[in-house]
Structure 1
């Protein structure tokens, strides 16, 4: 027999997926605006971030309602606690997408200093990590969550490459320091997006196995 809480937990998953879709859209618009030099898209990022903030409040409220009224057992409690943490990670991703839009707009006001291929690659990986980690959560797929964890290394390597190349350019072209700092901030925010997607993958493993793999904890 299906329990009442099962239906509410499914609703929670749907809410998280909707919020994740808004995060994916915000990130995509911020990067598209940068790559296509389309300033009008930056304003849309701010609009979507407002929706993400509304999602954040709505999900928290639904979780608090479940905790207060349903008396969840251990497995259900792990799932609800994971949703609360995922909700916070997604909200931070919305903030980072806005940060990217600010830095991207500033960068476009300067003379370009390098190709943005690595920034584009970072954004593509981050987008796959966000979507993939949430898909894992909805399916309870802990094995695929481990794949998401490994993708974080790709973003870190690309961020380090961008940092190194920008710093080398600034040394020879000090007049480009502002543009260089904008690119560093964009890369840093993309890296942080990857970190938050990694957190979600870790929460998937905790929710469905009870194993806490943060801070070097083992899985499997």
Structure 2
């Protein structure tokens, strides 16, 4: 089991936990001890194995979870008593997506736990000296964004930088790019999901709106069979 401290909001420490096996009742005590050791108040679990959705109280901690009908792999969030009384509600958006709303000041805190569906890769047309700093900020020491590609990995085509997805994975049936610039994926339109640019808008929900689509794509044998229909070109998330 690997636990990572991610960030702090309203003096509340959050963390994420990944394990080679789904979390079961027997592992919950180990998780609680790890939270106490690291002084974490909220811990996201990438894989749990319980039916349906609900919550379990165990000593000073409470586990909120979601899962399938047949004890399939779901996700969970463990809360210490410091924050569990501030929970305003929770919603299992799917077997693998769980939302917990916590009262806070000045703003409420929304915690979203998603199963690890994909490997995340950063591919930017920016210079490495700038792109690496942004990627480090996003990763926040979690070691999630381990594969990174910058301007030197792009192709210069008619004065614009395009991104060669085959350099990341030669199997184009299992890779897609999420980008705000159509020029960037000009050579791979059947592997692209357009998204709006982000300018520090705290109300932006573009990525959240994409979750159902990302959930569905992981069950297709070839992402191009869906994205290649060009229907996605009529909508920018």
TM range (shorter): under 0.3
Higher share of residues assigned strand: 2
Question: TM-score when scaled to structure 2?
Answer: 0.24
Question: TM-score when scaled to structure 1?
Answer: 0.25
Higher share of residues assigned helix: 1
